[in-house]
Structure 1
Amino acid sequence: MALSRLLLLCMVASEVWDAETRPIEFVCNKGARRAMNIVAEMERALVECFGLTTLSTPVQLPCTELHVASWENKSHQEKRGEIVASLRLLIEGVKAVKAPGQPGCATSLLQRLENNINNYLLILTNLQLSGPVVSPALSCVPRSTQSLSTVLLNYNQLISGKLERFMVHMEDRCTSQ
């Protein structure tokens, strides 16, 4: 029963961000940003997935460390590029670890994580920024882990750290939109 509720919750919560929503609305709505961060829900669901403490292959972790002084000196394009590069690194790892022989619970959690990362990528890549386009680049040498808990922890640090700080700096656009 609990597993079927979890699967239903995962299916509903993993719906792709409404294509009609403009990225600037995400920037201007802190509640929407908070609601989109599903890591706490996924950590609770992970408890229900008995035996899913170790992934079959390592996943490279996103760059989450934030040196405030150097971050503040970066352009919006550079900040977005760094976050996008970290999200792409993570999503590739999640896609690689989803194996056909995994239990349904593991597959559902990994699919939900992949969908959530894709939602962030869609918003960031469609956000209109002025200035020269900057190719996404990592700000660290990625580490790897086989722990889904560690993956979720690092993902949450990326979302609540670099991404949220970037969104707060973009909020000046909210009054002009």
Structure 2
Amino acid sequence: MLGRREVGAHPALGLDNTRLLLLCMVASEVWDAETKPVDFVCNKGARRALNIVAETESALCNDAKTLSTLVQLPCTELHVASWKNKSHQGIRGDIVASLRLLIEGVKVVRAQIQPGCASLPLQRLEHNINNYLLILTHLQLSGPAVSPALSCVPLSTLSLNTVLLKYNQLISGKLEWFMVDLENRCTSQ
């Protein structure tokens, strides 16, 4: 019969149909989030879908758990009293500075390792951080622009698990608080 295909692995990608479908779903969520930052603010499900930390942790091989170079960790502590006194621009600047610090460390480590088991989680992490940076930098905020600045003195680690933990704390902590603070935009759009 013409046009009939075997169910299972995709010959060109080496992916089974379930993984291919999941990849397409995640890609569509990321695309929507990247192109429409306000939709990202208003859709908690899209924010949760973009956070890949749990999947990355579960897919780590032993070779990937210890890094060859120290990675500076993002600032994750949230002081609620001082947070409430910051402008939206200042809050965004804090989060963007933390994401930039982390992505630079990930890029350095990725450049030093061979392709394989250890490089895949770092590549996914770098792409994920870039997605958050795109969303935050394209988000329309009122008030004067504020240069991104760290709210802490960064610590460093050789543990990819610690990097993922701190990244998750940044995304589910500071970034989520910021999105909740911006939710008033959702009803006015």
> Normalising to structure 2: TM-score of the pair?
0.83
Contiguous gaps of at least 5 residues in structure 2: 1-13
Query: Secondary structure of 1:156's partner?
Result: helix
1:82 positional shift: 0.2
- Residue identity in the other structure for 1:169: D
Rg (Cα) greater in structure: 2
Aligned length: 169
Asked if 2 retains the 8 angstrom alpha-carbon contact of 1:54 and 1:148, the reply is yes
User: After superposition, what is the alpha-carbon deviation per residue over 1:24-66, rounded to whole angstroms, capped at 9, x for unaligned?
Assistant: 00000000001111101111011xx122221010000000001
Deviations along 1:93-125, one digit per CA (max 9) or x if unpaired, are 000001354351211110000000000000000
* Higher RCO (CA 8 Å, separation ≥ 6 residues): 1
Please give the alpha-carbon distance, in whole angstroms, between the structure 2 residues aligned to 1:15 and 1:121.
Answer: 16
Q: Deviations over 1:6-32 (max 9, x none)?
A: xx78x9488593277310000000000
Q: Give the ranges of 4+ consecutive aligned residues of structure 1 lying more than 6 Å apart after TM superposition.
A: none
| Partner in structure 2 of residue 86 of structure 1 | 98
CA distance in 2, matches of 1:117, 1:38: 10
* 2:188 is the alignment partner of 1:176: yes
Q: Does 1:22 align with 2:28?
A: no
RMSD, aligned CA: 2.1
Q: Does the 8 A contact of 2:63 with 2:118 survive in 1? A: no
Does the aligned pair in 2 maintain the 1:15–1:115 contact within 8 Å? Answer: no
When normalised by structure 1's length, the TM-score is 0.89
Alignment partner, residue 45 of structure 2? 31
Other-structure match for 2:5: none
Identity %: 73
The match for 2:126 is 114
8 A contact 1:27–1:171 mirrored in 2 = yes
